[in-house]
Amino acid sequence: MTKADLVDKVTALGDLTRRDGEIIVDTLFDSVIGALKSGDKIEIRGFGSFRTRQRNARIGRNPKTGEKVDVPAKRVPFFKPSKELRDSVNPGTHATPIDPNHIDPHHPPAM
């Protein structure tokens, strides 16, 4: 789904113009981005939570040349889905016991 598809869905919900739908979607995204920039956490019950995580500085490698590169510390956005969202994406999943005698023909055990 693209941002334009999301605007179309919002516009279809009521007596809104496409411009009104764009304003609603842009306001929502701008609010989430602004909160994350200021270090706030966003929780949307039944959907999930957004927050930032700190990544420490490290030494990376340029894949083209193999040269070592200093990668500075930075904050990165992180999304954690709610249990309701995970369950709705994976309906009816529950752990099945593993039969130790079963051999998967596509993934035989290592010798």
Q: Report how far apart the first and last C-alpha atoms of the chain are (Å, whole number).
A: 45
Give the C-alpha separation, 45 to 50, whole Å.
11
Write out pLDDT tens, residues 47-89.
999 999 999 999 999 999 999 999 999 999 999 999 999 999 9
Instruction: Please check whether residue 3 is in contact with residue 17, taking contact to mean a CB–CB distance below 8 angstroms.
Output: no
Give the C-alpha separation, 11 to 23, whole Å.
10
The torsion of the CA quartet 57, 63, 69, 74, rounded to 10 degrees, works out to -30
Domain boundaries, the chain: 1-40, 41-87
pLDDT of residue 6: 94
What's the whole-model pTM score? 0.69
- 41-87: CATH topology: HU Protein; Chain A (4.10.520)
pLDDT of residue 14: 85
pLDDT of residue 25: 95
Task: Give, as one character, the DSSP assignment of residue 64.
Answer: T
With vertex at residue 45, the alpha carbon angle to CA 26 and CA 1, rounded to the nearest 5 degrees, is: 45
Per-residue exposure over 6-33, b if at least 16 CB sit within 10 Å of its own CB, e if not: bbeebbeeeeeeeeebbebbeeeeeebe
pLDDT of residue 75: 95
